[in-house]
Amino acid sequence: MSYLRSYDDFTIRKIKKLRDLTKSKGIHIPNSGFLDIFLKYYHEDPLNVLPQLEKEKVIQLEPVSDGYMMYIYGEGSLTIEIRLEQLKDDPEIRTCDIIKAHHDLLKDDPERLTTEFIQDQIGRRCKNIDFHD
């Protein structure tokens, strides 16, 4: 009986092994060899697993012109604004999750934590509430 590492442990180890820290903390998914390594190890398509790992906050995926960069969660380079836009467009994310993410991302820069942003988020999901009374 052979033992297979969990997807998250395997993926984090491979990111650390394949990345070149002089260039980036992440790896380019198509060019790094990760896809082939994952497929050989698990006999599964990694593209079916990576979205779940991102949802579980194990990894961070960032689109680039010729594929995706993959980072250990929290090491990516997405700006706060881009990450919040991604969250806003995800129908499975609850309003309070977006507001919490906004707060967590901006806790070191409280000037950017705006009432307008929070009202916009709630307003998108609660069309019958008018915040501009």
- pLDDT tens profile 43-65: 999 999 999 998 888 998 888 87
- Rounded percentage of the chain residues whose pLDDT exceeds 70: 56
At residue 82, the 3 state secondary structure works out as helix
Q: Which amino acid is at 56?
A: E
- pLDDT tens profile 3-55: 889 999 999 999 999 999 888 889 999 899 999 999 999 999 999 999 999 88
Two tokens, residue 21: 């820290």
Within its chain, how far is the Cα of 1 from the centroid?
A: 34
